[in-house]
Structure 1
Amino acid sequence: DLDAPQPLDTGREHLLYRLGAWLYRLLGRLSRPFAPPEPPRDTEKVYAPGGPLLGPEVREALAGRYGAITRPTAGQRSVTLYSALPVPSDGTVVGAVLVSQSTFRILRALYDVRLDVFRVVLASVVAAAVLSLLVSATIARPLRQLRDQASEVVDRRGRLRGRFRGSRRHDEIGDLARALEELTGRLERHLRFIESFAADVSHELKNPLASIRTATEMLGEVDDPADRRRFLEIAWREVARMEHLLSSVREISRIDALLEAEPVAPVDLGRLLAAVIDSVGLHARDDIHLALHLPTDPVLTLASSDRLAQVFTNLLDNATGFSPAGGEVRVEISATPDTAVVAVGDRGPGIPPEHRERIFDRFFTWRPHEPQARDGHTGLGLAIVKAIVEGYGGTVSAENRPGGGARFVVRLPLAP
């Protein structure tokens, strides 16, 4: 029987295949209203058992030509290929040979491929679901925790009320959490510094204001011209002290806020210090000797020349103020492979160990040889030096010199 269906023992009976086929049929039903109609397929058996073999391909062969046709296989989803060849004898076609071949084996391989593809799709869906759960557990949840911590860092009035708690994770989210923890820590320290600075400014302004108030009150109670003049001089001196203090506070505030935005250029430290020493020498005591020791090659750093002049002017003023009569202030310039070094030394009393950590604090002043040191010094000179040097990526330190005196060392990156 040429049209007899072949037994279809394939992967179609597999549970996964049936599930995939059901999904495919469901999709087909949903898309059927939008698909063009298919022509009906002729699956009628052409060659019934015991019936005549008179298909179109056989008639072509009996006419002396090659005949071929393809028909759907009855009872299956495959097709059958029919070929008919004429059988000649003495120049006359006496019969025909008809052969057929079903595409059943191809269909069975196709079913196996479909089953493998569906397995891959199903495995991909499972893997995607697992990855989604993994992402939710390892990425989304930590990010939500960071979001919740961020909402707790600042209150509704913008005040800092908490900080990020960091993470022990060793991935990018852990790095982000630790960076945010460090950021809030630095912000917290900066806010404490601002609050402390504001309290120090308030304290420093309180003393001259009290003196001015006392002097003005006494003016209304005395009639002697000499006493009135003395109280007026006190008031004027305290007003000048306040102006000097406020000017220094404004200057160091500008350094903190605007130093990074100021233009920079290569600065020859030798030339700069020579000019600064000439300027300081004009108002320094005549018995103080200022000595500058230069290296053979120029030493350049990248900064603002005006700001560096401010740094070294403050250091030299400090050194000359502490130097004894006939003392020498020694300025030395040197360089390492990547750092410019400027040392300013004097032969004064040096720095007591208990004050060495506070020497660069704002409003700190220690001048044992000047009982009225507060009248002419704000305690911001060395603080300004530190703010400028650190703003340019450098460091400044203080130490005692062998044989007496103090030595301040400024280190700045060399210009490229």
Structure 2
Amino acid sequence: MKIAWRVLLGYFVILALAAFMLGQVFLEQVKPAVRQTAEDTLADTANTLAELASDDLYAGRIAQGGFATHLRALSDRRVGADIWGYEKQGVAYRVIVTDAKGIVLFDSQGKDMGRDNSRWNDVARTLQGKYGARSTREQADDPASTVMWVAAPITHDGRLIGVLSVGKPNRVLQPFITASRNVILTWGLVLLGTALLIGVAMAWWLSRQLGVLRAYAQAVTAGENVPAPRAAAEFGELGHALEVMRERLEGKQYVEEYVHTLTHELKSPLASMKAAAEILEGELSTAERRKFVGHVQTQSARMAEMVDQLLALASVEHRRQLENPQMVDLRAILLDAIGSLEAKALASNVRVDVVPGDPLSVTGDAFLLRQALVNLLDNAIEFSPAGGIVRCAVFAEGESVRVCIDDEGQGIPDYALPRVFERFYSLPRQAGGSRSSGIGLSFVAAIASLHGGHADLVNTSNGARATLTLSC
């Protein structure tokens, strides 16, 4: 499992547990909170009514006096109130008055007249001078039929003469409890869904940042010349550290490889020059001396050319991207490169032709592209026989532009095709000419890669074809 999904899973588990625990706390607190509020209201109501009933109870007319008359009239009163979306039509209070012994003297619903209520907590505790309240089912087999009762003492001249109990069915409170729970559940799910989306976004972002670093590491492992990874926050710092580490390691490896290869390549001309120097120490004719002096000069020039080309190749290979890319006309650059090699082509008796066409522009470095084309043209001229023709063409193909250079030489041996772009790998020239430095094609490949393209060399029926492919 990917690390991003593991983070998301852990985040969601923690979130789900927290949501479950908080949901349970809130949901379990809704019912008690509503009932506590209702009990507080009942306590106020009971004490208020107890004061109003005091005179009638003391006078012995609690069941027939004005107090009883007004309470009985409550059953006919229509409230017609919209309380938080709940339609309240009537008064749900039930009022019971007992004497100092707990015997019912008045019941607003007329049900329990004469009953002994002294055993109920609301009456019993009030008669004892304590706060009295209870919750009792009206129907023993129906849990939803509970009624909350709160009692208050009825006193006259400081003496306890009775108890007034106010009851309110809990089913009247249930709509508010249900509505509150629904609101909590709805918003809880909304918050959970929002948190989940945030978690998914975080996991995607984390996966993307790690993916950038992983792709960079894989490209480096494959030997590709890729730019530094673009990541955010700490991932950006990690990407920068990886890039610095890569540059230092590559720089060390690059120098070691180049020193080793250059040392190997310089052994041959140095050995040749040493042999010529030893011969020059002996007795030689003027013609022989000129021959060996010329040989020393040729080998020293070859060594200088090799060092210069090696420095140019190192400069290109160490670039991660073009410093100042611009739109350039590739056909014009090709014609300029052909013009610079006109003298060499004439000396080799080789004609260079260009297929006519419209200007084709690419984004790149004109100087480097010209150097790459000069190298390809130079190879084509050198491998072409006297009287041969080098044909050049520039054309667009999809989202890229290609330059094809065909010569009429002997082609590339099959064993050499996979290695022609390696550093210092070269083949003999026409008519037994000496080998080149073997750096030119490596230089071309590096420039092509820097422009987001590639270089190819294949055999044709008439010779060889070099192709430089660049992104538009």
TM-score (norm 1): 0.58
Question: What is the aligned counterpart of 2:177 among 114, 133, 154?
Answer: 114
> How far apart, CA to CA, are the structure 1 residues paired with 2:311 and 2:219?
23
Match of 1:90 in 2: none
Question: What is the aligned counterpart of 1:47 among 35, 49, 53?
Answer: 53
Once the two structures are superposed, what CA deviation does each residue of 1:8-52 show, in whole Å capped at 9, x if it has no partner? xxxxxxx99994269869xx9xxxxxxxxxxx9473212265338
Matches within 5 A, 1:360-399: 360-367=421-428, 369=430, 373-374=434-435, 377-399=436-458
| 1:405 and 2:467 matched | no
Q: 2:448–2:468: 8 Å Cα contact kept in structure 1?
A: yes
Match of 1:352 in 2: 413
Q: 1:17–1:115: 8 Å Cα contact kept in structure 2?
A: no
Match of 1:292 in 2: 354
Cα distance 1:213–1:360, how it changes in 2: closer, same or farther (>3 A)? closer
CA-CA distance at 1:125 after TM superposition: 7.3
Cα distance 1:196–1:131, how it changes in 2: closer, same or farther (>3 A)? same
Match of 1:202 in 2: 260
Match of 2:379 in 1: 318
Of 305-314 and 280-289, deviating more is 280-289
Question: What is the aligned counterpart of 1:268 among 317, 325, 329?
Answer: 329
| 1:281 and 2:342 matched | yes
The alignment of Structure 1 onto Structure 2 pairs a total of residues equal to 319
Once the two structures are superposed, what CA deviation does each residue of 1:172-209 show, in whole Å capped at 9, x if it has no partner? 77776665544322212327998488435512323425
Matches within 5 A, 1:3-402: 19-20=28-29, 41=44, 43-44=46-47, 45=50, 46-47=52-53, 50-51=61-62, 104=168, 108-115=171-178, 117-118=180-181, 121=184, 180-190=213-223, 195=253, 198-199=256-257, 201-209=259-267, 212=270, 223-224=281-282, 239-258=300-319, 260-284=321-345, 285-295=347-357, 297-336=358-397, 338-367=399-428, 369=430, 373-374=434-435, 377-402=436-461
Q: Extract unaligned runs of 5+ from structure 2.
A: 1-23, 38-42, 71-90, 96-132, 134-146, 151-165, 224-245
CA-CA distance at 1:314 after TM superposition: 0.5
> How far apart, CA to CA, are the structure 1 residues paired with 2:27 and 2:94?
22
Q: Extract unaligned runs of 5+ from structure 1.
A: 1-14, 29-39, 59-69, 80-101, 144-170
Of 323-332 and 232-241, deviating more is 232-241
Q: CA-atom RMSD, angstroms?
A: 5.2
CA-CA distance at 1:387 after TM superposition: 1.8
Secondary structure of 1:343's aligned partner: strand
CA-CA distance at 1:257 after TM superposition: 3.1
> How far apart, CA to CA, are the structure 2 residues paired with 1:17 and 1:268?
72
Match of 2:237 in 1: none
Q: 2:316–2:446: 8 Å Cα contact kept in structure 1?
A: yes
CA-CA distance at 1:319 after TM superposition: 0.5
Cα distance 1:41–1:290, how it changes in 2: closer, same or farther (>3 A)? same
> How far apart, CA to CA, are the structure 2 residues paired with 1:215 and 1:363?
20
Q: 1:219–1:228: 8 Å Cα contact kept in structure 2?
A: no
Q: 1:205–1:242: 8 Å Cα contact kept in structure 2?
A: no
TM-score (norm 2): 0.52
Percent identity among equivalent residues? Answer: 21
> How far apart, CA to CA, are the structure 2 residues paired with 1:299 and 1:173?
42
CA-CA distance at 1:264 after TM superposition: 2.5
User: Counterpart of 2:427 in structure 1: which amino acid?
Assistant: W
> How far apart, CA to CA, are the structure 1 residues paired with 2:255 and 2:432?
25
Secondary structure of 2:319's aligned partner: helix
> How far apart, CA to CA, are the structure 1 residues paired with 2:433 and 2:45?
119
> How far apart, CA to CA, are the structure 2 residues paired with 1:355 and 1:234?
28
